[in-house]
Amino acid sequence: NAGVTQTPKFRILKIGQSMTLQCAQDMNHNYMYWYRQDPGMGLKLIYYSVGAGITDKGEVPNGYNVSRSTTEDFPLRLELAAPSQTSVYFCASSKRGGSNEQFFGPGTRLTVL
Amino acid sequence: AQTVTQSQPEMSVQEAETVTLSCTYDTSESDYYLFWYKQPPSRQMILVIRQEAYKQQNATENRFSVNFQKAAKSFSLKISDSQLGDAAMYFCAYRTSQGGSEKLVFGKGTKLTVNP
């Protein structure tokens, strides 16, 4: 199993550009998440999904959009990139059930200039 | 809303010694889950240990153990026989047992340095 994969690993955007961060998992997990990690901070939840076709906002959703058309994929869309979106983005997935581990992807470092 | 506080931004330990990282949390729930994640310089988030709130027995995983004090809402991580590979950021996280997102709420992390 590849686990949780994310592409790209690094990206530099200009202000106002848009892009999609890709996330895929091959563990047949229902739950998927997008977090962002700012320097010196813990991870904050952007969006999550409890299954294909179902998504909901987390703590910091402004400036982002998501979709979940399949169990495996959970892309994160940035529209009109702003410097405040400079961060490291992590995708994660888990089985349903609070004690279950969330498995994280390797992260995408995004810089908006 | 639940919050997680890690009051030690940085800690250091000598190789082979023991270190304890602190974590407190705020919640009105009685049933929940707590986790410690390790983030080495590679950025990969790795689960270290987990604790179910309904279990009174403290979780252990090899050299890692927790001191879970439910009434005090405290969840500290003890690393015994520290190794150079333990150097990393450590994050404490809370997860609700209520149906819905089952999201994790993270503390700001503690940077652990292991001195040879």
Q: What is the pLDDT of residues B6-22, one digit of tens each?
A: 999 999 999 999 999 99
At residue B60, the pLDDT reads 95
Are A42 and B96 inside 8 Å of each other by CB? no
pLDDT at B38 exceeding the cut of 70? yes
pLDDT value, residue B102: 80
pLDDT of A45 over the 70 cut: yes
Which 3-state string (H, E, C) describes chain A? CCCEEEECCEEEECCCCCEEEEEEECCCCCEEEEEEECCCCCEEEEEEEEECCEEEECCCCCCEEECCCCCCECCEEECCCCHHHCEEEEEEEECCCCCCCCEECCCEEEEEC
Bridge partners of residue B33, in order along the sequence: B52, B95
Mean pLDDT of B92-102: 80
Summarised one tens digit per residue, pLDDT across range A52-101 is 999 999 999 999 999 999 999 999 999 899 999 999 999 999 998 777 88
For A9-25, what is each residue's pLDDT tens digit? 999 999 999 999 999 99
User: Closest chain A residue to B2 measured between Cα atoms?
Assistant: A59
pLDDT in the model for residue B99: 61
Size of interface A-B (CB pairs under 8 A): 59
Average pLDDT of every residue of chain A:
94
Chain B residues within 8 A (CB-CB) of chain A?
A: 4, 9, 32-33, 35, 42-45, 47, 50, 52, 91, 93, 95-97, 100-109
Asked if A56 is an interface residue toward chain B (Cβ–Cβ < 8 A), one would say yes
Least confident of B37-46, B65-74, B90-99: B90-99
Test mutation, B43, B92, B111, chain A, max A CBs within 10 A: B43
Cα separations in angstroms, B25 against A40, B4, B29, B95: 19, 4, 11, 11
B98 pLDDT more than 90 = no
Nearest to A42 among B33, B96, B108 (CB): B108
Whether the per-residue pLDDT at B36 is higher than 80: the answer is yes
Q: Per-residue confidence at B2, pLDDT binned at 50, 70, 90?
A: confident
> Is residue B9 a contact partner of residue B108, using CB atoms and an 8 Å limit?
yes
Average pLDDT of span B84-98: 92
Q: Do A107 and B50 touch (CB under 8 A)?
A: no
